[in-house]
Structure formats: structure tokens, C-alpha cells
Copies of this chain bind each other. A is one copy, B any other.
């Protein structure tokens, strides 16, 4: 059911070790933090007597949010220009995963109609379905593809932009006055042009996918309505009594570094990150091209990026790789000891897989090599 079931599959042939590009573990960026320039920065030192209380600021709606993290979040959004933070409540969570569930809880608790329908346009982030279903809540109900959703009454639409898994720029598709949760995990300039400052009622961000610190489990929501923010905090209080203070001070240090150096060409993470992801995409497109017309990749339009001050394309954190024939691409790749998330997990077709573009260099290179060797894949026989 959940997204980590591929972890233990191991290759029988030592010469063909399994490459797991299913899980989106963003370790590619570690090299930036290990570089000579960065290695000594953002070191966090925590004495044994520090960070002992449950509380950060008892006067804040989000009482477990550290004030310095709130400031760091606002400063980074201001520097990048990707989201409005004014007149909003910041709610911190154990990753945006937990915040998404907090938002579902908040919106459905405040709705008169229950269970509230939850939808997302196909292909969607596979975890949404799991998050909306696993505890079998009577507050909300997963209803699948937003494009075919026609149930009357209130609903919540999940909008991820750029989208996970296919990298497209998304807007709501139902548009019948329901609630929208915007997931902007990838709305950062290394992945996609920052065309405007997002300004919506509920916007989710994750620390994991900005510069690769997934182990910290930090996410935040920018929330306009105080009642929604309060209900989200209620969820986080009952669910985990808040969020690790250690992770919060580490996220603060790293976000502040990202802000400080974002305009310094030789240091900017976003410049480095953009070059990194772009170069991987160029390699992947070259390989896909080399294999003839067997595979497909989405094309992304150019757009002017306000942050970089120039036109650019989108270089998503995942590649939505397709097979030109109606076959199960995940199984085909598994035969080559390459693990991906199958398209049907995202409400889509088996002929697609989601490929993690942020894995270790060696895994990515090995994947390209194996893709190149697929001369006569079974799906074309």
C-alpha cells in the first residue's frame, strides 16, 4: 500500500545491483553541502540542556513553532519571490505529509458536510490517496481523479505545482467553489521558473525538496484563515504534540544560509541546484532520444523566471517516463533491476513510471546506462 515496499528487493546478480529510483530521496544535493565552501557552514550545536520544552511560543497559534524558523521561512520566500507570507499563519509540521493530513482534518472538521470528498487530477502524487484513506476517517473520503469528479457538494482538491509525478504546472480543475490545498514542494527556482508569487488560502512547503534535507522531517503551511490554522495545530497537537525542536533549529540555519547566499553566484544553492537538475534532464533526454521512439518524456514550456531574471524551462525532481506501447514499464525496468513507482499508483497508466531525478550520481548514471542497453524491450516485441 505505502510507498516504500520496494526497499528490500535486492538483485541476485552482484554485477547488476538494484537501482532504486522509486522513493524520491533527494541525496543528489549532498555534494553541495559537502563542498569546501559550504562544509563549515550551517553547523548546528545543541547542548544537552537546550530545547527541552514542548513549547516555543505560547502566544502563537502554532505554539510549537520556533520564532526564528518562522522568520527564516518568511525571509526565504521574500528572497525567492515564490509565495506571499503576509497576513498568514505559519504552521510547522513533521514534513508536509503530516501538514497535508492536518489540512484535510481542519477543512473537513470545519465543513458541515462529511465526509468531504478529496480529489486530485491524474496523474497525482500517489501518497495523497494513502493519506486520505489509511485511517478510514469519517471526516473525508478519497474520490480519485479531479477531472472526472462530479459528486455534488463541497470537496477538497489537491493541487501540486509543478506536479508530482509529471512536472506540469497545475491549476485547480474542479472549480466549483471547493477548498484547494496547494502543494508547492517543487515551486523553487532550481526546478521551475518562478513566474509569480503564489497567493492562496492554504499553501504547503517542504524542507525536504528544497536543498535535500529529507531526514529532518520539516514542512510548513502558509494559512490565511485563523480557524483553519487552529484546527491544523489541533491535529498536530493530538497527532505528535508538535514538531522536533532540533529539526527546527537545523532548518532555520539552512534556510537562512539559502537566503543569504541566493544572490551570490559562486555560492547560490539555487544556481547550483538548477545546473544539477538541468544537466540530469539533458542526459536523460539524450538517452531517451538515443533509444529511438521507445520512450516518452513530457515537454515543458519556457517561461520567464523572476528569480533568475531569464527564460527557463522546468526541470522536475521526477521524470514521468512513458513507454510508447501499451505495456507495463515498471515490470520492464524491474527486469533491468531498476525500481520505479508505476504510473497506476498515481491514478494513471502502467505505461508510465515516476523516476527520481535526485538520487545519488552513481545510481542515476547506472540507470541511464541500463536504459541505453534496452535495445529491444519486451514491450515492443
The residues of A with any CB-CB pair to B shorter than 8 Å are 1-4, 7-8, 23, 25-27, 29-30, 33-34, 38-49, 51-55, 58-59, 63, 93-95, 97-98, 101, 105, 127, 130-131, 134-139, 208, 212-218, 234-235, 237-247, 250, 253-254, 257
Contacts and interface: CB of A to CB of B under 8 A. Distances in A.
Given A48-B254, A53-B214, A244-B246, 12 more contacts: A4-B237, A27-B53, A38-B49, A40-B47, A43-B46, A43-B48, A94-B239, A97-B240, A105-B135, A215-B244, A216-B246, A240-B240
A126 to B, nearest CB: 11
A203 to B, nearest CB: 19
A253 B95 contact: no
Contacts of A33: 47-49, 52
Contacts of A244: 94, 215-218, 243-244, 246-247
Nearest to A101: B239
B47 A25 contact: no
Given A216-B244, A216-B245, A134 B2 contact: no
18 contacts: A2-B234, A2-B238, A43-B45, A43-B47, A44-B45, A44-B46, A52-B215, A54-B214, A54-B215, A94-B94, A94-B239, A105-B135, A130-B238, A136-B137, A136-B138, A136-B139, A217-B240, A217-B242
A48 B44 CA distance: 8
A100 to B, nearest CB: 10
A239 B55 CA distance: 22
Contacts of A93: 240
Contacts of A30: 49, 52
A26 B240 CA distance: 16
Contact of A247 (B95, B213, B247): B247
Question: Which are the 10 A-B pairs with shortest beta-carbon distances?
Answer: A42-B48, A33-B49, A246-B246, A244-B244, A215-B245, A94-B240, A136-B138, A51-B215, A244-B247, A34-B49
A68 to B, nearest CB: 14
A113 to B, nearest CB: 14
Given A47-B42, A54-B214, A215-B51, A239 B242 contact: no
B54 A23 contact: yes
Given A137-B137, A216-B246, A239-B101, A59 B8 contact: yes
Nearest to A214: B54
Contacts of A127: 238
Contacts of A38: 48-49
Contacts of A134: 105, 234-235, 238
A304 to B, nearest CB: 31
Given A8-B58, A137-B135, A246-B216, A253 B48 contact: yes
Nearest to A32: B49
A192 to B, nearest CB: 22
Contact of A213 (B52, B94, B131, B237): B52
